Amino acid sequence: MIRRLFAPLLAAFVLGSPALAEAPTALGSFRDWDAFKRTQGSEIACYAVSSPTDKAPKNVNRDPAFFMVTNWQGRPADAEPSIIIGYPFRDGSTATVTVGSAKFDFFTKGDGAWLADPSDEKRLINAMKGGTSLIVKGTSSRGTLTTDKYSLLGISAALDKIGEACK
């Protein structure tokens, strides 16, 4: 799958410089989600990742987009959601993630986005586990509003796998 081709890019995003880190280890594929484990020195991260099943507008040229959920071994925070959108976000903008009727705001920096309120992590993860799709909306530095749709098929199994691998 295309996600596997970009696993080193994702791991570099999660852990920093790819030159300093080991290649990610695939933990498995779970329907529309893949799970990986990556080590850099004493830092170990496990992440579930998916690519959009639909993007709009379709005529916009951008790098691949991903939604990730990362667990850091030995840290109290689990299941940290993040976005790689494939273009630089507009400075000072927010991205929104919608699962069913639940809506979440993400702060943006460069081509990445993270939950604005970390206390929403469990609520978002629970919504993802109970939902069928996730919608990400963001605005590029050029002013283009994009909408990416992600399937949530396999998210529970992928999250279970990264939870086991990064206890």
Distance CA 53, CA 162 (A): 22
H or E segment to which residue 29 belongs:
strand 25-30
Return the closest-CA partner of residue 104 out of 121, 88, 126, 85. 121
Neighbours of 83 (CB within 10 A): 23
Q: What is the pTM of this model?
A: 0.87
Indicate if the pLDDT at residue 2 is higher than 50: no
Per CATH, which fold does 2-165 belong to? Immunoglobulin-like (2.60.40)
Domain ranges of the chain: 2-165
Query: What is the DSSP code (8-state) at residue 65?
Result: -
Distance CA 123, CA 134 (A): 13
pLDDT in tens, 49-95: 999 999 999 999 999 999 999 999 887 768 999 999 999 999 999 99
